[in-house]
């Protein structure tokens, strides 16, 4: 096999988004339905779904099941989208699967998948080839018309829903919730994060026919209750509750994964969920790295993701768990409401006394990047005291941020917060890990370790 197959895959990026299951269904049919070779947990939502999927997959792996994980987009290598027992599949296996897809594309009538659809089908073929016993599948965009809708799911999960991809999914939270909730498999368990927006909640409830097979997860109460009981009153939270009005999204993702396993009756995986939580390495999500100076990386790609990230930074500073960043590097892809996206960061800049912001441009992905000069003007219009500098080159912006962090305190350099598009964080990780020494690929940190000692314990 040659570079031709990879070039072919790359050429599929020009097709963009396909709001139809027809092409994927036709190709899967020609490949003898690999997606029916294993049961899958299917996860949709706006924020936290990747983290939830990673923890779930690791719990299944730790329980002894050969587990496949499909997520998107990737940070550095396309292989990251398709993992088996925590590790991305090899180039050889990826190529072999691509070749099979390319061949069946040319059967009459000729069809051509999008880049995303092709990677999803690669995952299905790889999982069948490698004898995967359980899969965890993350939707790419929405739910109703997402290629992943074709997997054989015995449980579906909805994480937090927010306004995103409105040009495709709808203008309101209710419309977006309806599109994402369309992944439900009637008669099989659905676990959905409780939305405080009444219209979104009703949209999800309307999607499910049997309200005894669907549960709402209330993180603030650490409990799930069936849709059929959703109208019943609940006692107010007592003053002794553990909940103080906020939790990290990693904690929320872990709780959601744990409850899903409980509902499914997956006893062995449920018993491993705590180990899975502490041993999950999910790069680019509230990730601390050392690169000359301490750096905090987060893929906050929409307004609610930005709000959660900034809230977590504030929370950790208040508990002396982590210092406040002294410098910010930001870049984003197009936003429906750029002001709403920037507002939480502006508040953090003001409250945290952050005086230096470097605005850059992520590489082009599924969405176009926001021009760094335009983003700089938008940030300046909020009227902070911060010095905001536009540098289109990510490498130069990162270097300028490092220099500034050292200038602020050479003995204890101020941390640099790198935040925004997943494509920005991926590019930064490539720069940081130029020599390939960081383990950005395997999402499961072995509990035994190389010397038989748990590296986390």
Question: Which tens digit of pLDDT belongs to each residue from 299-327?
Answer: 998 898 899 899 999 988 988 888 999 99
Contact 80, 441 (CB under 8 A): yes
Contact 182, 170 (CB under 8 A): no
Residue with tokens 């409850």: 259
Q: pLDDT digits over 145-174, tens only? A: 999 999 999 999 999 887 666 566 667 889
Kindly report the pTM of this predicted structure.
0.91
- The pLDDT assigned to 413 comes to 86
Q: What is the mean pLDDT of residues 370-387?
A: 93
Q: How far apart are CA 370 and CA 332, in angstroms?
A: 6
Q: What DSSP element (H or E) covers 84?
A: strand 82-84
Between 446 and 361, name the one with better pLDDT: 361
Contact 40, 137 (CB under 8 A): yes
Q: Tell me which residue of 269, 284, 274 sits closest to 443, measured CA to CA.
A: 284
- The pLDDT assigned to 321 comes to 86
pLDDT at 346 over 90: yes
Residue with tokens 């396909």: 18
Q: pLDDT digits over 197-245, tens only? A: 899 999 999 999 999 999 999 887 788 999 988 766 555 555 444 444 4
- The pLDDT assigned to 90 comes to 95
Domains and CATH numbers, the chain: 3-233+243-278 (3.40.1190.10), 287-432 (3.90.190.20)
Contacts of 396 (CB under 8 A, 6+ apart): none
- The pLDDT assigned to 166 comes to 55
Q: Which stretches within 272-302 are classed as H helix?
A: 273-278
Residue with tokens 């990510």: 394
Q: Tell me which residue of 111, 112, 59 sits closest to 86, measured CA to CA.
A: 59
> How would you classify the pairing of strands 287-291 and 293-298?
antiparallel
Torsion from C-alpha of 74, 75, 77, 81, nearest 10 degrees: -30
pLDDT at 451 over 70: no
């Amino acid at each position: 096999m040659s570079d031709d197959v990879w070039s072919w895959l790359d050429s599929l990026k020009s097709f963009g988004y396909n709001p139809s299951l027809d092409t994927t269904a036709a190709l899967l049919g020609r490949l003898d339905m690999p997606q029916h070779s294993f049961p899958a947990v299917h996860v949709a939502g706006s924020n936290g779904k990747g983290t939830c999927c990673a923890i779930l997959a690791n719990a299944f792996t730790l329980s002894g099941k050969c587990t496949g994980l499909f997520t998107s987009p990737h940070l550095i290598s396309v292989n990251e989208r398709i993992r088996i027992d925590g590790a991305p599949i090899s180039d050889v296996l990826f190529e072999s699967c691509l070749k099979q897809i390319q061949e069946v594309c040319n059967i009459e009538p000729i069809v051509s998948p999008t880049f995303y659809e092709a990677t999803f089908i690669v995952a299905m073929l790889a999982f069948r080839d490698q004898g995967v016993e359980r899969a965890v599948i993350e939707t790419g965009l929405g739910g109703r018309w997402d290629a992943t809708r074709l997997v054989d799911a015995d449980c579906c999960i909805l994480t937090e829903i927010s306004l995103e991809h409105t040009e495709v999914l709808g203008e309101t939270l209710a419309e977006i919730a309806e599109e994402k909730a369309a992944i439900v498999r009637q008669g099989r368990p659905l676990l959905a994060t409780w939305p405080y927006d009444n219209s979104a909640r009703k949209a999800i409830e309307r999607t499910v026919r049997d309200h005894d097979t669907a549960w709402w997860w209330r993180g603030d109460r650490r409990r799930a209750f069936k849709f059929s009981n959703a109208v019943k009153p609940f006692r107010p939270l007592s003053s002794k509750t553990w909940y103080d009005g906020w939790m990290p999204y990693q904690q929320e993702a872990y709780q959601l994964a744990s409850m899903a396993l409980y509902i499914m009756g997956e006893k062995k995986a449920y018993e491993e969920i705590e180990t899975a939580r502490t041993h999950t390495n999910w790069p680019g999500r509230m990730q601390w790295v050392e690169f000359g100076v301490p750096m905090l990386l987060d893929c906050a790609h929409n307004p609610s993701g930005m709000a959660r990230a900034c809230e977590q930074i504030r929370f950790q500073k208040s508990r002396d768990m982590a210092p406040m960043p002294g410098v910010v590097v930001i870049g984003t892809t197009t936003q429906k409401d750029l002001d709403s996206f920037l507002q939480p960061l502006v508040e953090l800049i003001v409250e945290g006394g952050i005086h230096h912001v470097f605005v850059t441009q992520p590489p082009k992905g599924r969405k176009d990047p926001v021009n760094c000069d335009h983003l700089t003007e938008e940030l300046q219009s909020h009227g902070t005291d911060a010095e905001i500098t536009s540098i289109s080159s990510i490498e130069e912006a990162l270097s300028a941020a490092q220099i500034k962090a050292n200038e602020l305190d050479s003995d204890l350099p101020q941390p640099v917060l790198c935040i925004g598009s997943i494509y920005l964080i991926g590019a930064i990780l490539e720069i940081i890990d130029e020599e390939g020494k960081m383990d950005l690929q395997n999402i499961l940190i072995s509990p035994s370790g190389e010397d038989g000692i748990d590296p986390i314990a």
